[in-house]
Amino acid sequence: MKSYIKDYIFLTIGALIYAFAIEGFFVPNGIIDGGVTGISMILNTLTGHALGGFIICINLPFIILAIKKLGVRFVLSTFYAIIIFALGVTLFSAKFHDGIIPNLELFLASIFGGLILGAGVGLVIRNGSSLDGTEVLAIYATKKIPFSVGEIIMFINLFIFTTAGFVYDWQHAMYSIVAYFIAYKTMDVVIEGLNESKSVFVITDYSDEIGKDIMKKMDVSVTYIDAQGGYSGVKKRIVYCVISRLQVQKLKEIAKEIDPRAFIAIENVYEVDGVRVKKRKI
């Protein structure tokens, strides 16, 4: 229950931050977002009807579509986040009719609006939900057409930003792309975290020596994985550990000092969960 409460608190905060970015920076400056929100903003400009109503109505079919594919929990949290977002848009629309800063330059509006928007969306995604039904559409479309989810979303957004060029003007459309790119990068930081970790595999004939040195000099626990060379057929032990990105160079120095021919593979780790095994005190 505590986990659910925490998730919905962060969903609320993330959705309201997203709404603040849309009404405080995007709408007053003619900048649009991608996905369903972008479509809703274009329809709002063309018809004058409430933006929040378009957001709910257009997202609703995708939410229903997601029940079978993504599960009831995801659908409920997504529907909740979209409702909060739509209410936030309505609330901030009345409060920030001329934007958070009147007559703000388009370049600054796209940068700071993108940063705030990315933080809000990232917070929602990090807590197991979504604010855009086009992702669900893309998941279903991959069964019918030979494109990935990311490629389909890119095509949809390309169509939206091109349409924005005709509805607004091409300058605003290009600034919308800048804002979208900044939001995308900010979203990654929020989802993955600033303290990005690295998983390291060290393949060597001196696994015991390197493993002991890593634990001694870096205070990092390691795991030994039994393996066998594909070409040589020789059995080896791989040294595996998770470290911060600042510790990568130190680990390389330790491994290469013992075995200059050691093969080191490093991968990004966006989340680490579990109890670290402490080294024994003798």
Whether pLDDT at 165 is above 60 = yes
Check residues 70 and 6 and name the one with the higher pLDDT: 6
**How far apart are the C-alpha atoms of 180 and 96, rounded to whole Å?**
21
**How far apart are the C-alpha atoms of 91 and 17, rounded to whole Å?**
12
Q: Where are the domains of the chain?
A: 2-192, 197-269
Whether pLDDT at 101 is above 70 = yes
Calculate mean pLDDT across residues 141-148: 73
**How far apart are the C-alpha atoms of 49 and 250, rounded to whole Å?**
59
Calculate mean pLDDT across residues 258-273: 85
Cβ proximity of 153 and 35 under 8 Å: yes
Helix pair 51-70, 72-95: axis angle to 10 deg: 170
**Which percentage of the chain shows pLDDT scores above 90?**
35
Calculate mean pLDDT across residues 172-181: 90
- Tally of CB atoms within 10 A around 46: 9
Which amino acid type is present at position 32? I
Q: Where are the beta strands (DSSP E) in the chain?
A: 197-204, 223-228, 235-244, 263-269
**How far apart are the C-alpha atoms of 77 and 5, rounded to whole Å?**
11
| The CATH number of domain 197-269 is 3.30.70.120 | yes
Whether pLDDT at 161 is above 70 = yes
Whether pLDDT at 60 is above 80 = yes
Question: Vertex 93, ends 178 and 162: CA angle to 5°?
Answer: 35
Calculate mean pLDDT across residues 13-36: 90
